[in-house]
Each structure stands twice: as C-alpha cells, then as structure tokens.
Amino acid sequence: MENFEKSFTQQEPVPEIGIERAIEIMRGGRLHRYNVNQGETSEVVTLENQFANYLGVDYCLACASGGYAMVTALRAFGLQAGESVLTNALTLSPVPGAIHAAGGKTILVETTDQLVLDLDDLERKLGDTSSRLVLISHMRGHIVDMDALLAILDRHGASLIEDCAHTMGAAWAGRSSGTFGVAACFSTQTYKHINSGEGGFLTTNDSGLMARAVILSGSYMFYDQHTAGPAPHVYTDIRLDTPNCSGRMDNLRAAILLPQLSCLGDRVSRWNERYHAVASELDGVDGLKMPLRPPEEQFVGSSIQFLVPGISTSQANVLLVTCKKRGVELKWFGAAEPRGYTSHYSSWRYLGTQTLPQTDQVLHSLFDMRIPLTFSIDDCHLVGRIIRESFNVSLSS
C-alpha cells in the first residue's frame, strides 16, 4: 500500500534575493515604511507600485493582513453602523469577521454545488435588503460568472468589493480577479500565492476610497509618501475627517514579497499542473463530484475541492481518518465543530441565525485539500490515488 510522507504545510523558501534584502533592512534598522532618508524609496512603496502595475489598477495599499485590508476597504467605502453587506455563505471566518469589525450586518447568500455565489439568491436578497454592497469571496479560487454578477449589481445599484485571497493571479474571461469592483483585497498570509507570513493589499481605482484607506492605515500626515495612492490634494479634508487605525505593512515583509511577485506567473502554472494531476486521479470516480471549471475562469489551483453528495457523517470521518493514516490531509466542511481554518457559517454565532438549506447540503458534502508547490507532479498523482482508494473504503463502511 502506498503512503505519502511530505508535509501539507511546507512552503517553498523565500527567494534568496528577498532573504538578502531583508537582512540588509534589518542591519539598517529601517523597518518602518516611513523611516527613509531623503531621496530613498521604501520597500513598501516599491511593492505597492509594482502590485498596482501587475494588476493594472491605479492605487494599492500594502497592509498588515488581508483581513485588515477588508475591514479598511469596508470603512473607506463608507459602510455605516448596522448596514447590511451580502457575502457568500461558503467562505472563511475572516470575511464575515471583517464585516462585523467594520460595523456592518452580514447577510449570507446561498452557495451552489459549483462552490460559487448563487446569483439567483443574491438577486432576491438584494431586492429584499436594498443593500448597496456585496463583498464577494472567491472562495478557494472558484470564480462566479462575473459578467452576470455585474449585471445584477447594476440592476440594483449595488457596489462590489472582492476578496481575492485565493485568486491572486487568476482571471475571468481575461480580466484579472480584483478589477471588477470598487475595491479588492488580497492576502499574503503564509498559505497564499505569495508568502510573507501575514500581509495583504487593498487595491482600487477610486481616489477618495484610497485616500481614506491610506489615512485609516496609519499614515498620519505622511500620505504624500504613498506614490501608489492619489495626489496630495485628494487628502485635503479626508486627512482631518478620517481616524488612524494602524495596520501598515513594514519594509521587511515587502522585501520578502517583491521577488515572489516576479515569480507569480510561474507559480500559477506550476500550481495548475499539480491541480490537474490530482484531478486526473479523481475524475470519473463514482459518487465523487468535481466542480466544473468554466472556460472563462483562469484559476489558480493552489487547492482542490470535491463533493460527495449524500455522504454520511460516519463515512466522512472514515474518509478523513483513512487518508490521514496514509499521509493525506483532507478538510471537511460538514463537521459539527469548527476545526483549524474550516468552519460552518453556524459557528459564527455573532451573525445571528440564518437559514441556508442549499449551502448546508453543499458544506456537508464538501472536502478540501491544500496543494503545496513543494509537491512534485508524481506526488500529486500519488495523493490523488490515495484519496480515490480511501474514498472507496469510506463508502463501504
């Protein structure tokens, strides 16, 4: 019997040039983004400009985390206390957590068995709530039909903020994820597509929103050093009306990220090779359903998901245990208690009771697995075979 022995949490090393630059910064002691000599450009400023150019947007703010970027985007948008924000029921807890932290009220939208926002339910709830904002989570890299989504939002006069924690480097019909809404938020947490341990970006083409975000991030009166932000005159009133709530990125993390941004295209290709290797072992397995990836979706396969409609709790636990014994770490969204990063929306009790029967069925059948780039293609075929064989064991239990 084949077993797998590599770690599912082992990331690739930071490129040597990033390590060397980080050491230089530590030796110089200038870790703070505004702590620069005259004529110098901080590492954070360089990173913000390069990420804005990469994405093709006007403005970028580097933040201490993706979650902070989301809270800041919501506040900079002008979210009012108690105002409703619609978001996916299938997401991770930082998304409703950001809405709650910004003072909003989370309204969850059903998820389809393709693991994307149910657009019919979204339209109903936009009509019922008259909400002016949707925070969409491209959960695990699955992108809904963005053209159809924008048409719905246009009909209801609602705006969009994108959570692109799992879609940095992805696109819909050739348009980069993160360029569809009034703002977008990205994560550079250690399991994301570029890794600084913690970190994130807020991007937008809206000068007023970015000016408020820059002040919120803790710029004090150093906003003119944000060359990936709007012109100084935009801050004239905003600088006096907006509180500072520090959540800046530092030069050390920016130095680590800069060379990784240059590698992102290559990483996307390598992730997708590994994704397809695992998927090839699972395709056609009776009772196991892989979400379809439409041709418009240029995704990043840094994780893989499958559904087992009708699986019982005992069978799901057998599948998890059998895979674990053979070295493969699956996550299951149907567990009664939250585990690690994985939780059911019912665990977020601060949202109040919300009923989403379709999402309940999806979550009960949903399994998820990270695909580190430290795995070879052969490793991914082996992992897929182990899941397939363990799945057959679980169904017979």
- What confidence tens digit (pLDDT) does each residue in 114-144 have? 999 999 999 999 999 999 999 999 999 999 9
Per-residue confidence (pLDDT) for residue 338, from 0 to 100: 86
Q: 351 to each of 105, 108, 333, 370, 383, how far by Cα in Å? A: 7, 9, 18, 28, 37
**Tokens at residue 86, please?**
């619609």
Tokens 């077993």 locate to 3
Phi, psi of 38 (to 5 degrees): -60, 130
Q: State yes or no: pLDDT of 394 exceeds 80.
A: no
Instruction: Provide the mean pLDDT of the chain.
Output: 96
Q: Which two tokens stand for residue 183?
A: 């703002």
Residue 189 has pLDDT above 90, yes or no: yes
- Would you say 366 and 310 are in contact if contact means Cβ atoms under 8 Å apart? no
* Residue 127 one-letter amino acid: G
Instruction: Please say if the pLDDT value at position 306 is more than 70.
Output: yes
Residue 397 has pLDDT above 70, yes or no: no
Q: Indicate the Cα dihedral angle 370, 375, 376, 382, nearest 10°.
A: -70
The answer to whether residue 396 scores a pLDDT higher than 80 is: no
Question: Residue 157 region, left (φ>0) first, then alpha (ψ -120 to 50), else beta?
Answer: left
Residue 38 confidence (pLDDT): 87
* Domain ranges in the chain with CATH number 3.40.640.10: 16-257
Cβ-based neighbour number of residue 397 at 10 Å:
11
Domain 263-395 falls under CATH 3.90.1150.10: yes
For CATH 3.90.1150.10, the residue range(s) in the chain are 263-395
CA triple 155-156-160, angle to 5 deg: 100
Percent of the chain with pLDDT over 70: 100
How far apart are alpha carbons 397 and 386 in whole angstroms?
17
Residue 160 has pLDDT above 70, yes or no: yes
Beta strands in the chain (DSSP E): 59-63, 84-88, 105-109, 133-137, 159-163, 171-172, 175-176, 183-187, 200-204, 297-298, 303-307, 331-332, 366-370
Domain 16-257 classification at class level: alpha beta
Q: How many CB atoms lie within 10 A of CB 49?
A: 15
Chain position carrying tokens 């994405």: 55
The CA distances from residue 64 to 61, 217, 246, 253, 326, in Å, are: 10, 9, 9, 9, 37
| Phi, psi (degrees; rounded to nearest 5) at 170 | -95, 170
Q: Is residue 254 a contact partner of residue 28, using CB atoms and an 8 Å limit?
A: no
Global pTM reads 0.97
